Every structure is written in structure tokens, then in C-alpha cells.
Amino acid sequence: MRPLFLMISVCISMVLYSVSSSLQNVNNPENTSPVTNDTIKIKVGSQVFTATLLDHYPAKAFKEMLPLTIAMTELNGNEKYSDLPKNLPTNMERPKTIKNGDLMLYGSQTLVLFYKAIPTSYSYTRLGTINNTTGLTTALGSENISVTFEAE
């Protein structure tokens, strides 16, 4: 009876450790990393930018929505935003500083594309980042604009 109890205890411990490690990777933004070849195209007018998505469920859920063309609204001279057709899972963090080219989710439904670096106290879910931001600010301009997101 005792060896069976010991074996069951070890199995339960292994399962709990595995679940704990998985949850830690999902909830800890430092444990997310870009996925090799998990890129998307972002089309703004005639310009095309490539972004690398993070390796977590929110970014994968976003990619499953593509292709997607949305009207993005200008805000604060540093970002464009738009509500997505449906809610996405979140992995919120307070980044303190947002970089040019960051693609983030505000709440569970608002997609935000930043084109200028800024300090922030808001919480976002990081989805990915544009690989080369040269010309991004000019392409997005200072007005509301239509942007197309496509899987590569």
C-alpha cells in the first residue's frame, strides 16, 4: 500500500509542477519571447511592415483573426488604436516605457499600434513589435487611417 501511495504522490507533484511552470510562463511577461518565423505583415497605404509576435496565447489568438483590415483612430500623436471584432485573452503588464513599433492590446479588445516611444502607467498585453520601424511614423501620419494585418 505504501509504494502505491508514494507513486501517486510523486505523480501528483509532477503534474502540479508542470501546471505551475506553464502558468508562470503565461503570466510572466519576462518569460515570453518572439517566436521564430511567427511574423505578420502590417500594411499602411503602400508601405508594408513586418512584425514579430510573442510566443503566448494572446498573440496567437490575434494571429488567428487575420487577415484583418481596420480603421485605426489617432491618439496623442503617438499611437493608433481600434477595437477588434472580438475579445482576446490577456496577459497584462505595466511596461513603464512603450517603444516605437510596439503592438499591444489595451483591455481585451482594443488593438494599439505605437509609433513613438513614450512613458506610460497603463497596463497592456504585448502582442509583438515591428521589426524595422523606419518610415512608420510617416506612413501612419497624424490622421485616422486604415491598416491591414495579415499572417505571413
Q: Check whether residue 70 and residue 40 sit in a common domain.
A: yes
Which residues neighbour 95 within 8 Å (Cβ) at sequence distance 6 or greater? Answer: 102, 120, 124, 126
Cell digits of residue 136: 512608420
Q: Is pLDDT above 50 for 36?
A: no
Q: Is pLDDT above 50 for 6?
A: no
Domain enclosing residue 22, as ranges = 1-31
Structural domain tally of the chain?
A: 2
User: With bands split at pLDDT 50, 70 and 90, how would you rate the model's confidence at 152?
Assistant: confident
Tell me, rounded to whole angstroms, the distance of Cα 45 from its chain centroid. 23
Q: Is pLDDT above 80 for 13?
A: no
Asked whether the beta carbons of 91 and 126 are under 8 A apart, the reply is yes
Q: Check whether residue 13 and residue 40 sit in a common domain.
A: no
Note the pLDDT tens digit of each residue in 106-138: 999 999 999 999 999 999 999 999 999 999 999
Note the pLDDT tens digit of each residue in 18-30: 433 334 444 444 4
Q: Check whether residue 57 and residue 111 sit in a common domain.
A: yes
Range 39-66 average pLDDT: 96
Phi, psi of 70 (to 5 degrees): -135, 150
Q: Check whether residue 52 and residue 78 sit in a common domain.
A: yes
Q: Is pLDDT above 70 for 148?
A: yes
